Amino acid sequence: MTSCRAIAAFRRTVWAHYRRAGRHNLPWRKTADPYRILVSEVMLQQTQVSRVIPKYKEFVSAFPSVQKLARSDLAGVLKVWSGLGYNRRAKYLYESARTVVGTYHTDWREALAHSLPGVGPYTRAAVQTFVFNEPHVMLETNIRTVFIHHFFPKRSKVADKEIVPYMELAVKGQDPRMWYWALMDYGAHLKQGGVRNNAKSRHYTKQSRFKGSLREVRGAILRKLVQTGRPNLPSITRQAAARLSFPKSRIKAALASLKKDGLIE
């Protein structure tokens, strides 16, 4: 394990960057509302911050509270979400809102102590950290980049369990909420500077190509549905085949996939 002196130097580096160039104006950093934090964390999964900011503002304007989202219908939620991609995230967020309100009576601590649709260990830890300012261990790509860059520079196949002890040491005595903001911003800075450490992680999986993928076809179909507002499977099939420039076999596979995920009827 590294020395206390090395951890202290590491902290100084992270804080110095945060003071100098931290992303202090991100809209979800100006609230401790667990609903809005959850919205931002779900949106940020596999999506660039620059794309999330306008969609986040649009979404919380349309659904300003977890109760409002829970009372809405999935078609309306997908309409607002349209253009952000990975539409299952919208469905999970909608289902989580209904669970938080209906099952846990908007008791967020209780809700986060249990399983919520589409809310994995990282997202749960992020909401708990940014809402309650608790020092949970939360690992995502930017944070992995930082710790691998500083503590495993010559290693490959670094496991998360190897990183966690360094995270636990580094967060001691720090403000957890601001420390994790600083880590994420520093990780984004390293990436912009050409540091590419994700492939050194044992848990790294290269994102599949979007162009020509089933995700592209699914997204195109859902955009058409949002425009028409008529989620009826037979008419969708005819409409999609007539208006979308994809092979019929791909459209059929995408429709089956969307139906399986509960995104269309």
CA gap 54, 137 in Å, rounded: 28
Q: Closest by alpha carbon to 4, among 200, 141, 173?
A: 173
Examine residue 150 and state whether it is found in any structural domain, yes or no. Answer: yes
Domain hosting residue 155, numbered range = 4-200
Examine residue 190 and state whether it is found in any structural domain, yes or no. Answer: yes
CA gap 202, 168 in Å, rounded: 20
Examine residue 207 and state whether it is found in any structural domain, yes or no. Answer: no
Look up residue 23 and give its two tokens: 């992303």
> Does residue 223 share a domain with residue 99?
no
> Does residue 195 share a domain with residue 222?
no
> Does residue 34 share a domain with residue 124?
yes
Provide the pLDDT for residue 85.
86
> Does residue 152 share a domain with residue 249?
no
216 catalytic, yes or no? no
> Does residue 164 share a domain with residue 114?
yes
Examine residue 208 and state whether it is found in any structural domain, yes or no. Answer: no
Q: Output the pTM of the full model.
A: 0.85
> Does residue 254 share a domain with residue 137?
no
> Does residue 222 share a domain with residue 194?
no
16-30, 160-174, 178-192, 193-207: the lowest-pLDDT one: 193-207
- Domain boundary, last residue among 149, 168, 200: 200
Q: What is the CATH number of the domain that holds 85?
A: 1.10.340.30
| Residue spans of alpha helices (H) in the chain | 4-21, 34-44, 49-62, 66-71, 74-81, 88-102, 108-112, 121-132, 141-151, 160-171, 176-192, 214-228, 233-243, 248-260
Examine residue 178 and state whether it is found in any structural domain, yes or no. Answer: yes
> Does residue 169 share a domain with residue 111?
yes
- Domain boundary, last residue among 168, 200, 232: 200
Examine residue 206 and state whether it is found in any structural domain, yes or no. Answer: no
Examine residue 265 and state whether it is found in any structural domain, yes or no. Answer: no
The count of domains in the chain is: 2
> Does residue 243 share a domain with residue 193?
no
Q: How much is the mean pLDDT over the chain? A: 89
Is a pLDDT exceeding 60 seen at residue 31?
yes
Q: Which residue has the higher pLDDT, 225 or 64?
A: 64
Q: Say which residue the tokens 């949106």 belong to.
A: 43
Q: Are 131 and 37 in contact (CB under 8 A)?
A: yes
> Does residue 243 share a domain with residue 129?
no
Examine residue 78 and state whether it is found in any structural domain, yes or no. Answer: yes
Is a pLDDT exceeding 70 seen at residue 238?
no
Is a pLDDT exceeding 60 seen at residue 185?
yes
CA gap 28, 125 in Å, rounded: 16
> Does residue 39 share a domain with residue 8?
yes
> Does residue 150 share a domain with residue 242?
no
Provide the pLDDT for residue 126.
97
97-150 pLDDT tens trace: 999 999 999 999 999 999 999 999 999 999 999 999 999 999 999 999 999 999
- Domain boundary, last residue among 155, 176, 200: 200
- The angle that helices 176-192 and 121-132 make with each other, rounded to 10 degrees, is 120
Look up residue 249 and give its two tokens: 């076999």
